Amino acid sequence: MSKQARKLNPHSMQHALQLRWTALSSREQNLLRWAAILLMLAGLWWWGLAPALNALREAPAQQARLDAQWQYLTDLQTQAQTLQKLPRMTQAAAVKALQNTTSEHLGSGAQVNTTGDRSTVTLNAVNPEALSRWLTQVRTQARAVPVEAHLQRTTPEANPTKPSGTASPLWSGSVVLILPAS
């Protein structure tokens, strides 16, 4: 047998370890036993118990997030079903509803231009709350679907009656909507 074959032989390695073990004093053997037990307990903790405890600790927060997502999706489903139940709207009626909703919610801060089944609404210094309400109403009343938006946040002009820093930002730009087909 060659030297390399003897080095790789598991029986000779086991024999060498047994000889080394018996050469150690009982105090050293006890220290090695305790070190091995400590390493096994640490491994059990890091790979067995700690991940499970972390999962249990994070479960309530994750459950709350999932419940919120579920509620949001349920609300979207209800909204979609409500929209599907509405009677069909002609394109002319949709354009009229879009114009009425725009003038009602945005006033002179918006202008509507319609070409075919697309309407472009140009916004000029519109309040964010009014814009949000308008988008909701346009979706339900005119059944228009926003497909493109180019908005820029602008700061309102200084108002001497309001303290500085309390004015909410305004939005300017354009929103492209698709109207229902005739």
Measure the CA–CA gap between 85 and 82, rounded to whole angstroms.
5
153 Cβ contact partners less than 8 Å away, ≥ 6 residues apart: 169, 170, 171
pLDDT at 109: 86
Q: Which tokens sit at 180?
A: 């229902």
- DSSP string spanning 92-130? HHHHHHHHHHHHHHHGGGEEEEEETTEEEEEEEEE-HHH
| 126, β-bridge pairs | 171
Measure the CA–CA gap between 93 and 90, rounded to whole angstroms.
5
- DSSP string spanning 127-170? -HHHHHHHHHHIIIII--EEEEEEEEEEPPPP-TTSPTT-PPPE
Measure the CA–CA gap between 131 and 47, rounded to whole angstroms.
52
pLDDT at 21: 87
The predicted-structure confidence for 79-129, as pLDDT tens digits, reads as follows 889 878 888 888 899 999 999 999 999 998 899 999 988 999 999 999 999
pLDDT at 15: 87
Q: Are 149 and 61 in contact (CB under 8 A)?
A: no
* pLDDT less than 70: residues of the chain: 1-8, 157-167, 182
Threshold 0.85, pTM exceeds: no
Q: Which tokens sit at 30?
A: 């006890």
Measure the CA–CA gap between 78 and 97, rounded to whole angstroms.
23
Measure the CA–CA gap between 105 and 152, rounded to whole angstroms.
19
CB burial of 24-36 (b: ≥16 within 10 Å; e: otherwise) equals eeeeeeeeeeeee
